[in-house]
C-alpha cells in the first residue's frame, strides 16, 4: 500500500479468422502483490441516481502492480520502416517531421492492410499509435483521389480534436481538408464548415447524427469509415447512432474498426458491418507495463487531506485526478485551488472552449492538476503525466484501465494511485 513521504521510511460475410498479433514496444514483468490491509467487503461506486455508477465489485488487489526491474526486456522489431510503406514522398516527409521513426506494432501490422483497401479490426490499448495507423494510409488514399471522403467516429470531443490535430500535421502541403463535428461546440460554425469540401469529417456519433438529419452531411458520399474506440462508444450508449450512421453509408465500403476489447456486442457489429476483415491484435495485457500501481488507504474524514499531502510532494508535478461525477470534479477542483494548488477541471458541464483552455494550461505545465470525469478524459493524449490519482473508485475495471493509461505513455514510466476507503 502506497504511503506518502511523511509516513514512508476491441456488410456481410462475417469476421475472418485471420488474426495478427504483435508484442508491445517494451514489456517488463510484474509481481502481483495483494494488500493485507483490506477487509473482505466490496469496493463499489457510491454515486446515486445513475445506474452507470452503481458500481461493480473490483478486488482492490487489482489496483496494485509493482514494477520489477529486470535485465531481460523483449523489444518489438517492426517488419517495416515508415520509408518502406507505399505512400508518397511528401507524406513520408511529414511523418519524419512529426518525429516518427519506426512504426509501433499496430502501425506496422495495420498500415499495409489499409493501403490494400482491406477492412481491418484492430484490438489495441490506448496509447499504441492507432491514430497514425489509420490516418497515414487514408491520407495516401485521399491524396490520390481528392473527391474521396472519410468519416471518423469517436466517443468524445477530446479524442476527435486530437485526431484532427494529428491529421493536420500529416496533410501539410496536401490541400486536404477536415472538419471536426462534436457536441458542446457551436453547431452553426460546423454547419458553415460543412458547406465546403472536406475530405475528412471527424466527430462524435450524436452530433454527426444531428448533422445528417439536418442534411448537412450526406453519408452516401462516404466510402470509408473509421470507428475508433468502438467499445467506449457502446459503453456510452451510442450503439443506435453508430448503426444509423453505418446503415446510411454505401455498401460495399472500406471499414476500419478499433477497440480495446472484443465483447459479444462488438463481434456482432463486426459481423454486420465489415467484410472479411484482417484482425490485428497488439493488446497483450490489461494494464500498461510501465505504470506502477498502488492503493492509498483513506477514510472519509482524511481523503482530501491525503490528496493534498500527495500533491505537495515534489515528484507530483503533472497529475490527472479522476472524480466520479461532474459536480464532484468541479467541487474538488475548487477546493484544491483554495489550498493553493494550481488546478483545472474538465467535465460534461463545461463548454468546449472552457475544456480546451483547461487542457491547454495542463499540457503547457501552467497547472499542476487536472480533475476529470471518465467521459471527459476519454482519448486524452498528454505527455509527461507523472501520476494518475483515482480519487473516486472507477465504476468498472475497464474504466480503471482507461484511466491509468493516461500515464506511462510510450516508453515513459508513470504511477497510478487509487484511493480506497
Task: Give the tens place of pLDDT for each residue, 220-243.
Answer: 999 999 999 998 888 788 989 999
Convert the pLDDT of each residue in 127-143 to its tens digit. Answer: 788 999 999 999 999 99
Per-residue pLDDT tens digits for 144-165: 988 899 999 999 888 999 999 9
The DSSP symbol for 221 reads: G
Q: What is the mean pLDDT of residues 376-388?
A: 78
The set of cell numbers assigned to 138 is 487514408
Percent of the chain topping pLDDT 70: 79
Q: What is the pLDDT of residues 70-92, one digit of tens each?
A: 333 345 678 888 999 999 999 99
Where in 148-242 does DSSP place strands (E)? Answer: 150-153, 178-181, 200-203, 224-227
> How confident is residue 342, by pLDDT bands cut at 50, 70 and 90?
very high
- Burial of 162 per CB tally in 10 Å (0-12, 13-18, 19+): buried
Residues 6+ apart with CB under 8 A from 60: 35, 38, 43, 295, 418, 420
Domains in the chain, please, with CATH? 29-71+286-420 (3.40.50.300), 82-281 (3.40.50.300)
Q: Strands 26-27 and 66-68: what pairing? A: unpaired
Beta strands in 33-149 (DSSP E): 66-68, 74-75, 120-123
Q: Is 282 helix (H, G, I), strand (E, B) or coil?
A: coil
This prediction has a pTM of 0.63
Full strand arrangement of the beta sheet holding 224-227: 19-21, 278-281, 120-123, 254-259, 224-227, 150-153, 200-203, 178-181
Structural Rg of the chain based on CA atoms = 22
| Three-state secondary structure call for residue 394 | coil
pLDDT at 55 over 60: no
Amino acid at each position: 500500500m502506497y504511503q506518502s513521504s511523511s509516513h514512508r521510511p476491441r456488410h456481410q460475410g462475417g469476421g475472418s479468422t485471420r488474426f495478427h498479433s504483435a508484442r508491445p514496444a517494451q514489456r517488463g514483468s510484474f509481481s502481483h502483490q495483494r494488500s493485507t490491509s483490506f477487509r473482505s467487503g466490496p469496493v463499489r461506486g457510491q454515486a446515486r441516481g445513475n445506474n452507470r455508477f452503481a458500481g461493480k465489485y473490483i478486488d482492490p488487489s487489482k489496483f496494485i502492480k509493482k514494477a520489477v526491474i529486470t535485465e531481460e526486456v523483449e523489444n518489438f522489431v517492426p517488419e517495416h520502416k515508415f520509408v518502406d510503406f507505399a505512400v508518397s514522398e511528401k507524406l513520408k516527409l511529414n511523418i519524419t517531421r512529426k518525429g516518427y521513426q519506426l512504426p509501433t506494432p499496430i502501425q506496422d501490422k495495420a498500415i499495409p492492410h489499409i493501403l490494400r483497401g482491406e477492412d481491418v479490426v484492430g484490438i489495441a490499448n490506448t496509447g499504441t499509435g492507432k491514430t497514425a495507423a489509420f490516418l497515414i494510409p487514408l491520407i495516401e488514399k485521399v491524396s490520390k483521389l481528392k473527391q474521396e471522403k472519410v468519416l471518423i467516429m469517436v466517443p468524445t470531443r477530446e479524442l476527435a480534436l486530437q485526431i484532427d490535430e494529428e491529421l493536420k500535421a500529416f496533410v501539410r502541403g496536401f490541400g486536404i481538408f477536415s472538419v471536426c463535428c462534436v457536441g458542446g461546440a457551436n453547431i452553426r460554425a460546423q454547419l458553415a464548415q460543412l458547406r465546403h469540401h472536406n475530405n475528412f469529417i471527424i466527430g462524435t456519433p450524436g452530433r454527426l447524427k444531428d448533422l445528417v438529419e439536418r442534411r448537412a452531411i450526406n453519408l452516401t458520399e462516404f466510402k470509408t469509415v473509421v470507428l475508433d474506440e468502438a467499445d467506449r462508444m457502446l459503453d456510452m450508449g451510442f450503439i443506435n447512432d453508430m448503426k444509423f450512421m453505418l446503415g446510411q453509408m454505401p455498401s460495399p465500403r472500406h471499414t476500419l474498426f478499433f477497440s480495446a476489447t472484443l465483447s459479444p456486442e462488438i463481434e456482432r457489429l463486426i459481423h454486420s458491418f465489415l467484410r472479411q476483415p484482417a484482425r490485428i491484435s497488439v493488446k497483450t495485457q490489461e494494464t500498461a507495463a510501465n505504470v506502477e500501481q498502488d492503493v492509498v488507504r483513506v477514510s472519509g474524514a482524511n481523503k482530501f487531506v491525503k490528496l493534498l499531502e500527495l500533491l505537495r510532494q515534489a515528484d507530483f508535478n503533472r497529475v490527472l485526478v479522476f472524480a466520479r461525477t461532474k459536480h464532484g470534479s468541479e467541487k474538488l477542483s475548487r477546493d484544491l485551488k483554495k489550498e493553493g494548488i494550481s488546478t483545472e477541471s474538465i467535465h460534461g458541464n463545461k463548454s468546449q472552449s472552457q475544456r480546451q483552455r483547461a487542457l491547454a494550461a495542463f499540457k503547457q505545465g501552467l497547472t499542476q492538476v487536472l480533475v476529470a470525469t471518465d467521459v471527459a478524459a476519454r482519448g486524452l493524449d498528454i505527455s509527461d503525466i507523472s501520476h494518475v490519482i483515482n480519487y473516486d473508485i472507477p465504476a468498472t475495471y475497464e474504466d480503471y484501465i482507461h484511466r491509468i493509461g493516461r500515464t506511462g505513455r510510450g516508453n515513459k514510466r508513470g504511477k497510478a494511485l487509487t484511493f480506497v476507503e
